Amino acid sequence: MAKIINKPVNRISSFAAQVYRITERIPAGKVGTYGQIAKCLSITKGARAVGNALHRNPFTPKVPCHRVIQSDGHLGGFASGAQAKKTLLEKEGVIIINNKIDLRKFQVKL
DNA sequence: CGTGTGACTCGGT
DNA sequence: GACCGAGCCACAC
């Protein structure tokens, strides 16, 4: 009999779920850093893992992954291009100068 | 289980 | 500010 194997593309790791949870609670007009989210998950050095989870984020419209930027204030990366990320943030009310964001004013406190 | 990769971060140059 | 190297974490193969 044929084994009905469905691609396990449906399972979200607990880690990723937590990342989405934190990202989802970022209000519009504010931004957060990968490291900050990582720290919320008790993994201060897991900024990379956080980026990975967001990059694979299956809840794109549900999770405002575009509100997550680098700790330096740079946009970081975006699946559709940093340009789109920049535009989106500006629409939310975030002021971006030279592809950089003022973390002092837009970094949300978790 | 080892290896490679990535939307990161920090420190030095 | 830009480039490089090292460190840390999770995932895919």
Q: Strand B closer than 7 Å to the CB of A37?
A: no
Strand, helix or coil for residue A106? helix
- Are A29 and A92 in contact by the 8 Å Cβ rule? The answer is yes
Q: Strand B closer than 7 Å to the CB of A20?
A: no
Q: What is the DSSP string of A17-43?
A: HHHHHHHHTPPTT-BEEHHHHHHHTT-
Is the confidence at residue A9, as pLDDT, over 90?
A: no
Phi, psi of A69 (to 5 degrees): -130, 180
Per cent of chain A over pLDDT 90 is 85
Q: Is residue A40 flagged as an active site residue?
A: no
- pTM for this model (two decimals): 0.90
Mean pLDDT of A11-15: 87
For residue A27, which amino acid is it? P
**A45-83: per-residue pLDDT in tens?**
999 999 999 999 999 889 999 999 999 999 999 999 999
Collect all residues with Cβ–Cβ distance below 8 Å to A96 and sequence separation of at least 6.
Answer: A75, A86, A89, A90
What is the spatial distance, in angstroms and rounded to an integer, between the CA atom of A71 and the C1' atom of C9? 17
Mean pLDDT for all residues in chain A: 91
- For residue A73, what pLDDT is reported? 97
pLDDT band at A10 (very low <50, low <70, confident <90, very high): low
Best CA proximity match to A71, nearest among A29, A30, A35, A37:
A35
What is the spatial distance, in angstroms and rounded to an integer, between the CA atom of A25 and the C1' atom of B11? 32
Mean pLDDT of A98-109: 96
Q: Strand C closer than 7 Å to the CB of A35?
A: no
